[in-house]
Amino acid sequence: MLTIVPDLLSAAEVARVRELIEPGDWVDGNATSGVQSALAKRNAQLPEDSAAAREAGTLVLDALGRSALFVAAALPLKVFPPLFNRYAGGQAFGTHVDTAVRIRRGSDFRLRADLSATIFLEDPGAYDGGELIVEGAFGEQQVKLPAGQAVVYPSSSLHRVAPVTRGVRLASFLWLQSMVRDDGARAILWELDRGVQAAGAALGQGDAAVVRLTGVYHNLLRRWAEM
């Protein structure tokens, strides 16, 4: 399941994140790559332990925590601290699958990467190319969003970033471990949650049918969640 999260960051928050990261000491993006990804990845990345990355990452994490849509779609258990990358001058990231287990250097923090997320930090008209292309059961989906919007998709999917042939593509990216490991189960819960919310808006949250559907949602989540 691929989910767009609109308006995750406000214009002021995007501006603040960019103010923090743009003057940073950018390094080769392969700092966090596995062996296979390193063969396909050509971009720059802000060092994850830099003060700018930490402060900007906190802004992104706060925004994710406020987003009811993100929480409902991802059902996050653990979130890897956000990272930041930059593509320009033909740089791209070829087809790959994200590493299954992410470990934060110098700590015992680790997570199973169930979902990946990209938060766009540059308006799409400012650069050519740079689409995130995710391969799924129904073909390829191309994503290039306005600054402040995010996309969440299965880390297990084949995906790539098209070459940036004009301008600069700035983004934050991260991985997360969901309470519900299986993508199909998460999709069912997501659709059920949307139905419950729509029924509640039409009938009232106290309506007997809405209460019953809410119970079904939580009982399925109870069955599938891993804590």
Q: Pseudo-torsion of CA 188, 191, 194, 200, nearest 10°? A: -70
Structure confidence by residue, pLDDT tens digits, 19-53? 999 999 999 977 665 566 667 889 999 998 899 99
What gap in Å lies between CA 32 and CA 37, rounded to an integer? 9
Name the token pair of 96. Answer: 């790959």
Phi-psi region of 162 (alpha: psi -120 to 50; beta: other; left: phi over 0): beta
Structure confidence by residue, pLDDT tens digits, 153-197? 999 999 999 999 999 999 999 999 999 999 999 999 999 999 999
Count Cβ atoms below 10 Å from residue 201 Cβ, excluding itself: 10
What gap in Å lies between CA 219 and CA 30, rounded to an integer? 42
State mean pLDDT over 113-138.
Answer: 96
Choice between 169 and 105, residue whose per-residue pLDDT is larger: 169
Provide the H-helix boundaries in the chain: 11-21, 35-40, 51-66, 68-74, 183-203, 208-224
Domains delineated in the chain: 3-178 (2.60.120.620), 183-224 (4.10.860)
Are 140 and 167 spatial neighbours (Cβ–Cβ below 8 Å)? no
